[in-house]
Amino acid sequence: MAEITAAMVKELREKTDAPMMECKRALTEAGGDPEKAEEILRVKLGNKASKAASRVAAEGVVAIHISADQKLGAMVEVNCETDFVAKNDDFLALSAKLAEMVATQNPVDVAALSAMSIAGTSVEETRKALVGKIGENISIRRFVRVPAKGALNNYIHGGSKVGVLVDITGGDATLAKDVAMHIAASKPVALSMADVPANLVEKEREIARQKAAESGKPAEIVAKMVEGSAAKFMKEVALLSQPFVKDDKLTIEALMKSKGAAVNEFSLYVVGEGIEKKVTDFAAEVAEAAAAAAR
C-alpha cells in the first residue's frame, strides 16, 4: 500500500474541506489514490447537508443571464466553501439557472427565489440536494435584475469571481466590453461623484479629520484639507471620473462622450466580498488531532 503522507492529506483537505482525519481514512481506503479518496469523501459526506449549513461559504461564482435583445439581464452570486466546488458542473449549472430565473421571473428577494420551482422541485430543495451530494454548504447570497435603458453587456473575470453588468446607450460592442472590463478592474462604487454613498464619504472625511488634526494647522485650513480629501475620494471611486484603464489620459466620461455614448448604470459583484473567510492552520489542526488521539 502507498504511504499516506502529510502532504497528501493536506492536498485532499484543501480540495474537499473535509476534516483531516476523514481525509487520511479516505486515502488509506483508496490505497493512496487521491481521486478515489475524493470520491469516497463525497459519498461519506453526502448526508451532512444540515451540518454544512453552519460552515462559512465564501467561495463561489457570479452567474449572469442577458436576454437575446440585451434589454433585460440578471446577475447572481452563489457561494460554496471551496474553490474546488465552485468549478463543479452541477454547481455551475444551478448558478446559471438561478440567473435566468431572476431575469425571467423577477423574484423580489432571495427567499422568493428559493421558493420558485426548477422542474417541479423548489430551488431550496434543489439547493439542499446539491449540498447533500457535494458535502459543502451552498448559499444564494444576492442578485440584481436590470431592465436596460440602452443595451446590456457583461464581463466575467477570474473564473467567475468578478461579474459586471453594464447598461450603455450608444457606442459599439468593443466600447461596451472595454467599459465592463474597466469596471471589473477599477471597482467603482457609484456611477458619478454625486452618487457615491454618503456614509462612505463621511467615513473618508473622518479619516481626513484625524490626519489633519495632527498637522497643527488652523481650523479653516483643516476644513479645506478634509473637503479636499473627500472630493478626491469621490473622484477615485465614481466610474465616470475614473481614468480609463486602457488610456489614463481619458476619464470614462470623456471616453463615452468621444463615442457618442453614455453609461446608464452598472452592477459589480465580487465573490465573497465582505464575508469573513475561514483560515485553516493545517499544522495546528494536525497537532490538535494528534493530541486527541493520544487522549
Kindly report, residue by residue over 229-285, the tens digit of the pLDDT: 999 999 999 999 999 999 999 999 999 999 999 999 999 999 988 775 554 454 555
d(CA 75, CA 148): 13
- Answer with the residue of higher pLDDT: 169 or 15: 169
Kindly report, residue by residue over 45-81, the tens digit of the pLDDT: 544 434 444 455 678 999 999 999 999 999 999 999 8
- φ and ψ at 238, to 5 degrees? -95, 130
Which strand (E) or helix (H) includes residue 163?
strand 162-169
Predicted local distance difference test score (pLDDT) of residue 22: 80
How buried is residue 47: exposed, middle or buried, by Cβ count under 10 Å (0-12/13-18/19+)?
exposed
Tell me the average pLDDT across 183-195.
Answer: 96
Tell me the average pLDDT across 141-170.
Answer: 95
Question: Per residue in 166-182, is it b (16+ CB within 10 Å) or e — as a string?
Answer: bbbeebeeebbebbbbb
- Cα 155 versus chain centre, distance: 13
225 closest CA partner among 244, 236, 210, 240: 210
User: 223: pLDDT confidence band, cut at 50, 70 and 90?
Assistant: confident
Per this entry, what is the length of the chain? 295
3-state secondary structure at position 291: helix
Strands 151-157 and 121-122 turn out to be unpaired
8 A C-beta contact, residue 262 and residue 256: yes
> What is the rounded average pLDDT for all residues in the chain?
86
Q: Where are the alpha helices (DSSP H) in the chain?
A: 6-16, 20-29, 34-44, 49-52, 83-86, 89-105, 110-115, 123-134, 173-186, 198-213, 219-237, 252-258, 282-294
